[in-house]
Amino acid sequence: MGKSESQMDIVEKSTKSGKKSWSFVTISLSVLLLLMTCAVVALYGTNSGSICTTPGCVTAAARILQNMDPTTEPCTDFYQYACGGWLNRHVIPETSSRYSIFDILRDELEIILKGVLEAPEQSDREAFRKAKTLYTSCMNESKSPPLLLQYFMEEKLSTLNSRFNKRVFIDMFVWNDDRDSSRHIIYIDQPSLGMPSRDYYFNDGNYQRVREAYLQFMITIAKMIREDKNMAKDDHFVQEEMAKVLKLETEIANATAPAEERHDVTLLYNKMTLRELQGKFALNVSEFNWTLFIQGIMSSVNVQIHLDEEVVVYGVPYLQELKAIISNYSASTIQNYLVWRLVIDRVSSLSRRFKDARANYRKALYGTTLEEARWRECVSYVNNNMENAVGALYVRETFAGESKRMVRDLIDKIREVFIETLDELQWMDETSKEKAREKKLANMLGFVFLQLNFNEHKYFENSLENLRAGAQKSLKKLRERVDQDIWIIGAAVVNAFYSPNRNQIVFPAGILQPPFFSKHQPQALNFGGIGMVIGHEITHGFDDNGRNFDKDGNMFDWWSNFSAMHFKDQSRCMVYQYGNYTWELAGGQNVSGISTLGENIADNGGVRQAYKAYLKWLEREGKEPKLPGLDLTHKQLFFLNFAQVWCGSYRPEYASQSIKTDVHSPLKYRVMGSLQNFEAFSDAFHCKKGTAMHPVEKCRVW
């Protein structure tokens, strides 16, 4: 299913409180009070300990006041205290499965991108012109052609991979070698599925409803394809054939290992030659030849493969089952499945009737009743496929150099605190601490092109061109050395990332905005916002996955037995803590403490490091002025802004999905879990031991 970097992202919700909501009048009076306060303070002067009345401070104070619910006791439910106002004021749009501060920032970013992509291009940079051409072709929705099924009906797996970047039955991709980060290698893994996770093929409740809608979606699309090809309409035949396809995919899903069983990358890694692969995992499909399969893919970039070529097999248990599965199905059912998996991914680039056919499936899966505006789909598509060009356009429009300098300074301060924190850890011996100090993470901040050719009137063809280019961009790296300076994501993204193979943290320009960061808001908010994100990504270098990689990005055990054993003990505490959180919106399911462990370690470490870095900043710079209308200390404001970054809500349908597929804990528990473990939070809000936010038992790794 490919390799991915750890990312900050969000995934979650919280049920609305029964507490009294803030009315429009109350909010208006609060903002008016802020303005009056500013006027009074401006008249009578200020000093270093007084109230800040700059526009940036007033804006930040108004945002914080609107988001919080001061009627809730912070030591009882800090998430409701911090986000209750936000939850009461925001209704999830009919186009969205979740709605959060992250999503609002992404919506605003897309508006900016819409403007730059629709503006006449005066620059002579070819990349900018191509991005705008691709956007224009996407907006020409009515001109999307019917599905050209005959174009790929008979294509083999290798062609699906190299031409359409689609990996069915077998996930073959090129990436950095986990054990030698300077070179690329071929990986063989279990594939992704048509539905979000294997749970949808077996579980009851909402998962069963999605499964039934999925089958109807398959049947409808199959009928439309037969109609386009002037084939006879035989509803019973189509239903039977698609039922076979779903049965095949269900067996594939059953053969894939659950996420919790794939948590330890050191156990997944199995290096062997193609000769050994052929001997261990022969498939009964026309005497399937692994070398020919991989050579068929690599020929698209003129790379020759030989029997002694080394590959890394991640999905050993799956490959052991695949032979028996394929043997049970006819060639026509397998072919129908290949076509279906390609079609489902291309629906967005086809005509309106294909999109309408998925409406019921989307409703069951996401709970949404409307699709996004076409321009938003197109902005997202262009950004995903030409991230460097779009990122450059975004940075040119919005990003200030002073912000970049300030955030880089924050990164240095928080990295310094992490190193200092090692001295506090009694569970880690000095030998392992010294190795951890050596693991200095590189950072990339702000922003970062393939030779693509687009026609503004042919969006479907353009999407195929992007699929081909995306596949070949990755495949051709097999014989190239790893370039550690290449960005792993574009700039126009509201997120942050850590790459263990590159030992690199990345902060795109899109996340450098309020409430995460502003050069005009108090540093307490910046440290609680982007500071926590920085600490989060740094800690990923030492979570249950990142700890397996050394300073050069190689998978190597640099831990002493003593430290490794105690790391697992400390981590086990968090597994139990988060595993005991019950998410009612997801049908009362418990959070997976195992699947979310890496993100929980990063959340806990991130908020600790950012807070300590802020205290050091206060020692050097002195006390900050207060925010108007808020009788809160800046230590309290730090924790409040940290929590408000995660304000958001989810539809039940999507909650059921994210609890099975997301490596992050639900939003509420990202806040509650981190702060319940942090004594400094309890001190700041004077929470008595034994209250909900100050439990006797606490967990700490970093």
551 vs 549: CA distance, rounded Å = 7
Q: Is 603 a residue of the active site?
A: yes
Q: Tell me the three state secondary structure of residue 176.
A: strand
* Strand partners of residue 648: 100
Instruction: Quote the mean pLDDT of the chain.
Output: 87
Tens-place pLDDT, residues 252-273: 999 999 999 999 999 999 999 9
Over 60: is that where the pLDDT of 45 sits? Answer: no
> Mind listing the pLDDT tens digit for each residue in 167-226?
889 999 999 999 999 999 999 999 999 999 999 999 999 999 999 999 999 999 999 988
Portions of the chain given CATH number 3.40.390.10: 1-106+401-448+487-702
- Name, of 18-32, 499-513, 642-656, the range with top average pLDDT: 642-656
- Given this model, what pLDDT does residue 452 score? 47
pTM: 0.88
Q: What distance in Å separates the CA atoms of residue 390 and residue 396, rounded to the nearest whole number?
A: 10
**Lowest model confidence (mean pLDDT) among 62-66, 219-223, 345-349, 637-641:** 345-349
Task: Kindly indicate the confidence band of residue 15, based on its pLDDT and cuts at 50, 70 and 90.
Answer: very low
Amino acid 29: pLDDT: 46
Catalytic residue among 5, 189, 377, 537: 537
Angle CA(40)–CA(41)–CA(43) in degrees, nearest 5?
A: 65
Task: Tell me: pLDDT of 629 over 50.
Answer: yes
Q: How many helices (H) and strands (E) does the chain have?
A: 28, 12
> What pLDDT score was predicted for residue 121?
72
State the pLDDT confidence band at 155, using cuts at 50, 70 and 90: very low
- CATH homologous superfamily for the domain 1-106+401-448+487-702: Collagenase (Catalytic Domain) (3.40.390.10)
pLDDT value at residue 2: 59
Position 285 scores a pLDDT of: 62
Cβ atoms of 476 and 155 closer than 8 Å: no
Confidence of residue 461 (pLDDT cuts 50, 70, 90): low
- The confidence band for 50, taking pLDDT boundaries of 50, 70 and 90, is confident
Compute the distance between CA of residue 343 and CA of residue 647 in angstroms, rounded to an integer.
36
At residue 455 the predicted structure's pLDDT band, cuts being 50, 70 and 90, is: low
Look at residue 202 in the predicted model and tell me its pLDDT.
96
Give the model's confidence band at 559: pLDDT under 50 very low, under 70 low, under 90 confident, else very high: very high
Q: Judge whether 141 counts as a catalytic residue.
A: no
pLDDT at 453 (0 to 100): 56
Lowest-pLDDT choice from 11-15, 21-25, 575-579: 11-15
User: What pLDDT was estimated at residue 237?
Assistant: 93
Q: Which of 103, 155, 387, 603 is catalytic?
A: 603
Average pLDDT, integer, range 456-479: 75
* CA–CA separation, 629 and 15 (whole Å): 28
pLDDT one-digit tens code per residue, 275-301: 999 999 987 665 678 888 899 889 989
pLDDT exceeding 90 applies to what percent of the chain? 65
Task: Domain 149-349: give its CATH superfamily.
Answer: Neutral endopeptidase , domain2 (1.10.1380.10)
- Can you state the angle between helices 667-676 and 561-579, rounded to 10 degrees? 130
Q: Is the pLDDT of residue 667 over 90?
A: yes
Inform me whether the pLDDT recorded for 28 exceeds 50.
Answer: no
Determine contact, residues 257/191, Cβ cutoff 8 Å: no
Helix (H) or strand (E) run with residue 432 in it: helix 430-438
pLDDT category of residue 158 using cuts at 50, 70 and 90:
confident
User: pLDDT value at position 349?
Assistant: 79
- For residues 212 and 195, what is the distance between their CA atoms, to the nearest angstrom? 12
Spatial distance between the Cα atoms of 588 and 590, rounded to a whole number of angstroms: 7
Start-end ranges of CATH 1.10.1380.10 in the chain? 149-349
Axis-axis angle for helices 157-164, 459-475 (nearest 10): 100
